[in-house]
Amino acid sequence: MHPSQHAATHPDRPAVIFAPSGETMSYAALEAQSNQVAQLLRARGLQRGDVVAIALENLPIYYPLVWGAQRAGLYFVCIPTRLTSAEMRYMIEDSAAKLLLTGASLAETVAPLAAICPLLMLDGAAAGYDDLGAALDAMPSAPIADESAGTDMLYSSGTTGRPKGIRVALPDDPDISATPVLEMLARGLYGFVEEMVYLSPSPLYHAAPLRWSMTVHRVGGTVVLMDKFDAGQALAAIDRYRVTHAQFVPTHFVRILKLSEAERAAHDASSLRCAIHAAAPCPVPVKHAMIDYWGPVVFEYYAGSEGNGMTAINSTEWLDRPGSVGRAMHGIVHICDEDGNELPVGETGLVYFESPTPFAYHNDPEKTRASQNAKGWSTLGDVGRLDEAGYLYLTDRKSYMIISGGVNIYPREIEDRIIVHPAVDDVAVIGVADDDMGERVVAVVQPAPGVAGDDALAEELEAWCRAELAGYKVPRRFDFRDSLPRHATGKLYKRLLVDEYRAREAP
Strands (E), 323-435: 324-330, 332-336, 349-354, 360-361, 378-386, 392-397, 402-404, 407-409, 424-434
- Helix (H) or strand (E) run with residue 72 in it: none
pLDDT at 159 over 50: no
Residue 157's pLDDT is: 59
pLDDT at 161: 52
Q: Rounded to an integer, what distance in angstroms lies between the CA atom of residue 72 and that of residue 68?
A: 6
d(CA 36, CA 414): 51
The predicted pLDDT at position 488 comes to 63
The answer to whether domain 402-505 has CATH 3.40.30.10 is no
pLDDT of residue 398: 65
Inform me whether the pLDDT recorded for 98 exceeds 50: yes
In the predicted structure, residue 400 carries a pLDDT above the cut 80 = no
Q: Span 253-280, mean pLDDT? A: 92
CATH code for the domain defined by 326-400 = 2.30.38.10
What secondary structure letter does DSSP report for 158? -
User: Mean pLDDT in the chain?
Assistant: 90
Identify the top-confidence range among 59-73, 81-95, 347-361, 399-413.
59-73
End-to-end CA gap in the chain: 58
Residue 131 is given by DSSP the state B
Say if 28-170 and 326-400 have the same CATH topology.
Answer: no
Q: In sequence order, what are the residues at sequence separation of 6 or more whose Cβ sits closer than 8 angstroms to the Cβ of residue 307? A: 166, 168, 357, 359
Taking each helix axis from N to C end, the angle separating 27-43 and 62-71, rounded to the nearest 10 degrees, works out to: 60
pLDDT single digits (tens) 178-234:
988 889 999 999 999 999 999 999 999 988 899 999 999 999 999 999 999 999 999
Buried b (16+ CB within 10 A) or exposed e, 48-66: eebbbbbbbbbbbbbbbbb
Domain ranges in the chain are: 28-170, 326-400, 402-505
pLDDT (mean) for 166-173: 84
Residues in the chain: 507
Fold for 28-170, please state it: Rossmann fold (3.40.50)
Residue 210's pLDDT is what? 95
Which class for 431: exposed (0-12), middle (13-18), buried (19 or more C-beta within 10 A)?
A: buried
Question: CA 285, CA 322: separation in Å to the nearest integer?
Answer: 9
Give Cα 215 distance to the centre of its chain.
Answer: 15
* d(C-alpha 101, C-alpha 96), whole Å: 14
